[in-house]
Structure 1
Amino acid sequence: MLFTNLNKIVKTGLLTNNFKAKVSLREKQNIRLRSDVESVLSCREWIKTITNNTFDSTRILGVVAVAKGAENYLPYTIPKIITKISEIGVIADIVIGLNNGFECQSVIERFSLIPNVQVIHLYTGEKLANNIPAKIFDNAKCEGEVYSLSNIDYQSSQHRIFVVHQKKGEYTAGKIRVLGDIYASLLLRSIENGWIPPAILVAFDAESQFLVEQKYAFIEPESNGLMLMVNKLKNEPEIDILGTRNKFAVYQKSILDGMKVLLPNFSEEIPPLQFFLDAVHGRYIGYQWMPGGGTLGKTDVLISLLVVISQRYPGTRSEDSHLTILAKHAGFIGKIFLDVVSINRTPSLTDMTTGEEQTNAWIEQIFRWDSGYQGLKLCYGVHNIKFIVSNQIPLSIFAEPIQFLKILQGRDKINIKTVFKKVKTLVIAFLNSQNIKKKSLDNPDILQGSKTKASW
Structure 2
Amino acid sequence: MFLDTFLRTSVSQIPSFKKQNILLKSKQDSVLNSDIEAVKNCREWIVSKTKNTFDNTRILGVVAAANKADSFLPYTIPKIIEQIADMGMKADIIIGMNHGFECPKVIEYLSLLPKVQIIHLYTEAKPENNISAKIFDNVECTGEPYYLSNLYPEYFQHRIFFVHQKVSLHSSGKIRILGDIYGSLLLKSIENGWTPPEIVVAFDAETQFLLEAKNQAIESKLDTNGLMLIVNELKKTPQIDIISTRNKFVVYQKAMLDNMEILLPDFSQEVPPIQLFLNVVHGRFSGYKWNPGGGVVARTDAMISLLLIISERYPGIRVEDVHLSILAHHAGFASDILLKVVSINRSPKIGEMTMNSSLKSAWMEQIYRWNSGCKGLELRYGKHNISPIVDDGFPWFTITKSLDFLRALIAHRKINLSTIIKNVNFLAIALITSRQIRRKSSNNPDILQGPTAKAFW
Secondary structure, counterpart of 2:408 in structure 1: helix
Task: Report if aligned partners of 1:271, 1:362 keep a CA contact under 8 Å in 2.
Answer: yes
Spell out the pairing of 1:51-450 with structure 2 (5 A cutoff). 51-155=50-154, 157-219=156-218, 220-410=221-411, 412-450=413-451
Q: CA deviation at 1:406?
A: 2.4
Letter in 2 for 1:346: S
CA 413–173 in structure 1, closer or farther in 2 if over 3 Å, else same? closer
Q: CA deviation at 1:21?
A: 1.8
Letter in 1 for 2:69: A
Letter in 1 for 2:127: L
Letter in 2 for 1:376: L
| Worse-matched range after superposition: 395-404 or 145-154 | 395-404
Task: Report if aligned partners of 1:284, 1:394 keep a CA contact under 8 Å in 2.
Answer: no
Letter in 1 for 2:347: T
Task: Report if aligned partners of 2:397, 2:405 keep a CA contact under 8 Å in 1.
Answer: no
Letter in 2 for 1:35: S
Task: Report if aligned partners of 1:412, 1:418 keep a CA contact under 8 Å in 2.
Answer: no
CA–CA separation in structure 2 for the residues paired with 1:289 and 1:103: 31
When normalised by structure 1's length, the TM-score is 0.95
Secondary structure, counterpart of 2:216 in structure 1: coil
Q: CA deviation at 1:261?
A: 0.1
CA 14–313 in structure 1, closer or farther in 2 if over 3 Å, else same? farther
Secondary structure, counterpart of 2:328 in structure 1: helix
Task: Report if aligned partners of 1:40, 1:308 keep a CA contact under 8 Å in 2.
Answer: yes
Task: Report if aligned partners of 1:133, 1:184 keep a CA contact under 8 Å in 2.
Answer: yes
Q: CA deviation at 1:452?
A: 0.3
CA–CA separation in structure 2 for the residues paired with 1:325 and 1:168: 31
Q: CA deviation at 1:355?
A: 2.9
CA 192–412 in structure 1, closer or farther in 2 if over 3 Å, else same? closer
CA–CA separation in structure 1 for the residues paired with 2:394 and 2:86: 40
| Worse-matched range after superposition: 228-237 or 311-320 | 228-237
Q: CA deviation at 1:365?
A: 0.2
Letter in 2 for 1:336: I
Task: Report if aligned partners of 2:179, 2:307 keep a CA contact under 8 Å in 1.
Answer: yes
Task: Report if aligned partners of 1:290, 1:336 keep a CA contact under 8 Å in 2.
Answer: yes
Q: CA deviation at 1:373?
A: 0.9
CA 412–201 in structure 1, closer or farther in 2 if over 3 Å, else same? closer
Is 2:39 the partner of 1:40? Answer: yes
CA 14–431 in structure 1, closer or farther in 2 if over 3 Å, else same? farther
CA 322–154 in structure 1, closer or farther in 2 if over 3 Å, else same? farther
| Worse-matched range after superposition: 412-421 or 157-166 | 412-421
CA–CA separation in structure 2 for the residues paired with 1:15 and 1:348: 51
Task: Report if aligned partners of 1:285, 1:394 keep a CA contact under 8 Å in 2.
Answer: no
Task: Report if aligned partners of 1:122, 1:138 keep a CA contact under 8 Å in 2.
Answer: yes
Task: Report if aligned partners of 2:209, 2:343 keep a CA contact under 8 Å in 1.
Answer: yes
CA–CA separation in structure 2 for the residues paired with 1:218 and 1:117: 33
CA–CA separation in structure 2 for the residues paired with 1:385 and 1:440: 16
Task: Report if aligned partners of 1:91, 1:157 keep a CA contact under 8 Å in 2.
Answer: no
CA-to-aligned-CA distance 1:367-418 (integer Å, 9 cap, x gap): 0010011000001000111001111243233233233222212365432221
Letter in 1 for 2:166: K
Q: CA deviation at 1:154?
A: 4.8
Which residues of structure 1 form unaligned runs of 5+?
1-12
Secondary structure, counterpart of 1:425 in structure 2: helix
Secondary structure, counterpart of 2:53 in structure 1: coil
Q: CA deviation at 1:23?
A: 1.5
CA 331–143 in structure 1, closer or farther in 2 if over 3 Å, else same? same
CA 381–154 in structure 1, closer or farther in 2 if over 3 Å, else same? farther
Q: CA deviation at 1:187?
A: 0.1
Q: CA deviation at 1:48?
A: 0.5
Task: Report if aligned partners of 2:117, 2:156 keep a CA contact under 8 Å in 1.
Answer: no
CA–CA separation in structure 2 for the residues paired with 1:290 and 1:414: 28
CA 294–411 in structure 1, closer or farther in 2 if over 3 Å, else same? closer
CA 70–380 in structure 1, closer or farther in 2 if over 3 Å, else same? same
CA 256–441 in structure 1, closer or farther in 2 if over 3 Å, else same? same
Task: Report if aligned partners of 2:115, 2:155 keep a CA contact under 8 Å in 1.
Answer: no
Secondary structure, counterpart of 2:161 in structure 1: strand
CA–CA separation in structure 2 for the residues paired with 1:415 and 1:125: 58
Q: CA deviation at 1:22?
A: 1.5
Secondary structure, counterpart of 1:129 in structure 2: coil
Which residues of structure 2 form unaligned runs of 5+?
1-11
Q: CA deviation at 1:353?
A: 0.5
How many residues are paired up?
445
Task: Report if aligned partners of 1:64, 1:205 keep a CA contact under 8 Å in 2.
Answer: yes
CA 366–411 in structure 1, closer or farther in 2 if over 3 Å, else same? closer
| Worse-matched range after superposition: 148-157 or 83-92 | 148-157
CA–CA separation in structure 2 for the residues paired with 1:19 and 1:101: 49
| Worse-matched range after superposition: 340-349 or 15-24 | 15-24
CA–CA separation in structure 2 for the residues paired with 1:248 and 1:161: 27
